[in-house]
């Protein structure tokens, strides 16, 4: 029996799962909000300690200026094919709200557990497994970035991996409608609308009408954006105001402010109508709007069909492709690597919320899925 078939998959998955909880505890134990250089370096150090000894590492410039460097870990082999494993180490959780890992009722709860330090743990395990069979690949590479959660700059690493045969991204996994193991082959485009308001300050008690209220203008813009929310429409557009800041004193008409709105749709073109819905002026307040983040959509459902069929055969249970609204670095890589698949991480929930968790019993089954897909890539 060829090496990369079910016995190899199950044996390696068992080993990955045996280490996964401790490794996840170590990674979640590092509070690593996006943009904190020291925290990112500490998270990279923990991840580096979990790499196979054969891995050659380098720190490369991050896509976002001023951030810590990203990590590339490369294992060289004597085969023909190249596979890229992808994850991110940053979270949306500020240091003050950070939660270390807790175990209860089959859940591993902690900041960044499912988005996506649990996926990073599985990616590290897959790389260790592949390092034991170097004759079956030319390169197996792990890319860990530190800015995925709040990147507005162009993605820096796509062209670097354009010659690779496949990229496998380890965002959270899920089940299909009939309980199948599911991975992500389609994602929406993502955008962030930023609006800056410039009004006129005045005393809110003695001269309220002499001011031009930036907060009220931004609130009206937020309402107009929310009115465009149309997830059942032709572009499946979601338009959600998420952050608004305005005002410095309780007794002053706020003269400046900013608003951010999260946008998702089948294509980037759908965001043009949202941008155009923001007027240049409201109530004497000047408004400046721009798309500060533009992430492409991803649809590799056709190209991934054969890969998923082969993974299903190797694993002995169905592995299907599905879609998700959330953004991911898989979308950037799919522009350059035609065979890109996401959602190889463990199952869980509560991403970006205090109750974020990984289902402990999914670590082994999702390790099997990831190993089956890597084996299918390598033929």
The 10s digit of each residue's pLDDT in 87-144 is 999 999 999 999 999 999 999 999 999 999 999 999 999 999 999 999 999 999 999 9
331: number of Cβ within 10 Å: 24
- On whether both 153 and 215 belong to a single domain, the answer is no
Residue that terminates a domain, selected from 295, 313, 339: 295
What is the CATH classification number for the domain harbouring 278?
Answer: 3.30.70.360
- On whether both 159 and 246 belong to a single domain, the answer is no
Measured at the CA of 54, the angle between CA 61 and CA 1, to 5 degrees, comes to 120
Residue that terminates a domain, selected from 295, 324, 339: 295
- On whether both 288 and 197 belong to a single domain, the answer is yes
- pLDDT score of 1 more than 50: no
Max Cα–Cα distance, the chain, nearest Å: 85
Question: Tens digits of per-residue pLDDT, 186-235?
Answer: 999 999 999 999 999 999 999 999 999 999 999 999 999 999 999 999 99
- On whether both 90 and 20 belong to a single domain, the answer is yes
Q: How far apart (Å, rounded) are the C-alpha atoms in residues 336 and 157?
A: 10
SS3 content of the chain, % helix, strand, coil (to 5): 35, 30, 35
- On whether both 249 and 100 belong to a single domain, the answer is no
Query: In this structure, is residue 65 part of a structural domain?
Result: yes
Average pLDDT over the chain, rounded to whole? 96
DSSP-based three-state secondary structure for 228: coil
Query: In this structure, is residue 1 part of a structural domain?
Result: no
Q: How far apart (Å, rounded) are the C-alpha atoms in residues 52 and 218?
A: 51
- On whether both 28 and 115 belong to a single domain, the answer is yes
Residue 103 sits at φ, ψ, to 5 deg, of -115, 125
Q: What percent of the chain has pLDDT over 70?
A: 99
Q: Are 69 and 62 in contact (CB under 8 A)?
A: yes
Residue that terminates a domain, selected from 277, 295, 313: 295
- On whether both 126 and 175 belong to a single domain, the answer is yes
- On whether both 86 and 164 belong to a single domain, the answer is yes
Element (H, E) at 311: helix 305-315
Question: Tens digits of per-residue pLDDT, 342-351?
Answer: 999 999 999 9
Count of the separate structural domains present in the chain? 2
Residue 361 sits at φ, ψ, to 5 deg, of -75, -5
Q: Are 100 and 29 in contact (CB under 8 A)?
A: yes
- On whether both 205 and 225 belong to a single domain, the answer is yes
pTM score over 0.95 = no
Residue 45 sits at φ, ψ, to 5 deg, of -65, -40
Query: In this structure, is residue 313 part of a structural domain?
Result: yes
What is the CATH classification number for the domain harbouring 322?
Answer: 3.40.630.10
Of 163, 4, 136, nearest to 77 by C-alpha is 136
Question: Tens digits of per-residue pLDDT, 60-87?
Answer: 999 999 999 999 999 999 999 999 999 9
Q: How far apart (Å, rounded) are the C-alpha atoms in residues 357 and 350?
A: 6
Q: How far apart (Å, rounded) are the C-alpha atoms in residues 307 and 95?
A: 40
- On whether both 198 and 286 belong to a single domain, the answer is yes
Q: Which domain holds residue 224?
A: 189-295
- Whole-number pLDDT of residue 3: 65
CB-based contacts of 291: which residues, under 8 Å, 6+ apart?
A: 191, 192, 193, 194, 263, 271, 275
């Amino acid at each position: 029996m060829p090496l990369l078939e079910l016995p190899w998959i199950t044996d390696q998955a068992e080993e990955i799962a045996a280490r996964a909880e401790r490794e996840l505890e170590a990674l979640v134990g590092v509070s690593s909000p996006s943009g904190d250089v020291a925290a990112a370096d500490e998270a990279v150090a923990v991840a580096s300690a979990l790499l196979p000894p054969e891995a050659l590492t380098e720190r490369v410039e991050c896509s976002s200026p001023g951030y810590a460097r990203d990590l590339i870990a490369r294992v060289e082999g004597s085969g023909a094919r190249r596979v890229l494993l992808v994850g991110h180490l940053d979270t949306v959780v500020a240091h003050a709200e950070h939660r270390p890992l807790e175990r209860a009722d089959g859940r591993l709860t902690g900041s960044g557990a499912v988005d996506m330090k649990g996926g990073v743990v599985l990616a590290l395990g897959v790389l260790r497994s592949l390092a034991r069979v170097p004759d079956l690949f030319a390169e197996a590479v792990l890319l860990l970035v530190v800015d995925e959660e709040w990147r507005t700059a162009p993605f820096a690493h796509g062209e670097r991996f354009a010659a690779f045969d496949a990229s496998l991204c380890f965002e959270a996994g899920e089940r299909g409608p009939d309980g199948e193991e599911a991975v992500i082959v389609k994602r929406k485009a993502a955008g962030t609308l930023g609006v800056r308001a410039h009004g006129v300050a005045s005393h809110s008690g003695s001269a309220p009408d002499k001011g031009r209220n930036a907060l009220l203008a931004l609130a009206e813009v937020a309402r107009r954006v929310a009115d465009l929310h149309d997830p059942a429409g032709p572009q499946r557009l979601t338009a959600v105001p998420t952050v608004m800041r305005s005002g410095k004193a309780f007794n002053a008409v706020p003269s400046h402010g900013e608003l951010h709105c999260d946008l998702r749709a089948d294509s980037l073109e759908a965001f043009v109508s949202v941008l155009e819905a923001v007027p240049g002026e409201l109530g004497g307040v000047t408004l400046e709007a721009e798309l500060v983040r533009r992430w492409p959509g991803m649809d590799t459902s056709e190209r991934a069909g054969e890969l998923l069929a082969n993974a299903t055969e190797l694993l002995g249970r169905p592995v299907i492709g599905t879609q998700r609204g959330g953004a991911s670095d898989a979308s950037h890589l799919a522009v350059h690597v035609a065979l890109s698949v996401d959602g190889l991480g463990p199952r869980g929930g509560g991403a970006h919320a205090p109750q974020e968790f990984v289902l402990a019993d999914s670590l082994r089954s999702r390790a099997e899925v990831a190993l089956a897909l890597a084996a299918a890539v390598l033929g």
